[in-house]
Amino acid sequence: MNVDSARRVVAEPLTSEGFAAFGEVVEHAGEQRRRHLSLPFAHAAPACRPAMWVSRVEAAIAWPCPVVLLERHPYSSQTFIPLDGASYLVAVAPDGERGEPDLSRLRAFIASGSQGVCYRAGVWHQGLSVLRAPAQFAVAMTLADEGDDEFLKVAASVDIVPPGFDR
């Protein structure tokens, strides 16, 4: 992880290897015609209702991008696929000792407009954060209709910056 003394996390390009602890990168890989993904429909009880929708993001982020709110979905994976080629920021954090996000291990990735992401169930992540707007994403997950989302306002000061950011 790239965190400097000012609590800045430097975003890195999104790769399957770098993101593996948090989920899957939705993109083709290898020589086969199809690449099957294992996570997009992964869920646990009580999630049982598949859902898919399109989200529109009206505003692009500014650098540095503060981490203000993180969310997770305890029963289901959640998949985002860009529909219009917009690049976006992916910020994720593993669980800390008490189930809260461990901000000291927060990672940030810049996804190209041809990459989707599928977060594992329970992974803390920042909401959709696009580099240009407006942008649209197909979103899929399995819902329980109660307790599907957990949100946490981030008390610590953490900013995400792109590689080479000097301010």
Give yes or no for residue 5 having a pLDDT over 80. no
What's the CATH number where 81 sits?
2.60.120.480
pLDDT of residue 4: 41
Provide the 3-class DSSP secondary structure of residue 135. strand
Give the helix ranges, DSSP H, for 60-148: none
Q: Which domain holds residue 80?
A: 5-25+37-159
Residues 65, 159 contacting (CB under 8 angstroms): yes
pLDDT of residue 1: 38
What does the pLDDT average to over 19-38? Answer: 88
Give yes or no for residue 136 having a pLDDT over 80. yes
Whether 98 maps to a domain, the answer reads yes
Closest among 90, 80, 65 to 12, alpha carbons compared:
90
Whether 124 maps to a domain, the answer reads yes
Whether 30 maps to a domain, the answer reads no
Helix (H) or strand (E) holding 92: strand 88-93
Whether 167 maps to a domain, the answer reads no
* Tokens standing for residue 42: 């992964």
pLDDT of residue 166: 73
Whether 91 maps to a domain, the answer reads yes
Q: What residues pair up with 95 in beta bridges, in sequence order?
A: 101
Apex 62 CA angle, 92 and 13, nearest 5: 45
pLDDT digits (tens, 9 = 90+) for 33-84: 887 788 888 888 888 899 999 999 999 999 999 999 999 999 999 999 999 9
Helix (H) or strand (E) holding 112: none
| Distance in angstroms (rounded) separating the CA atoms of residues 153 and 139 | 23
* Tokens standing for residue 133: 């707007």
Whether 44 maps to a domain, the answer reads yes
Total-model pTM = 0.90
Q: Which is higher by pLDDT, 34 or 87? A: 87
pLDDT of residue 3: 41
Q: Which is higher by pLDDT, 51 or 5? A: 51
Give yes or no for residue 12 having a pLDDT over 90. yes
- Environment class of 80 (CB within 10 Å of its CB; exposed 0-12, middle 13-18, buried 19+): buried
What does the pLDDT average to over 129-136? Answer: 96
pLDDT digits (tens, 9 = 90+) for 93-129: 999 999 999 999 999 999 999 999 999 999 999 999 9
Q: HSE, CB side, 13 Å, CA atoms: give it for residue 2.
A: 16
Q: How many domains does the chain have?
A: 1
Give yes or no for residue 23 having a pLDDT over 80. yes
pLDDT of residue 156: 84
* Tokens standing for residue 101: 């996000």
Exposure pattern of 23-43 as b/e (b: 16+ CB <10 Å)? Answer: bbbbbeeeeeeeeebebbebb
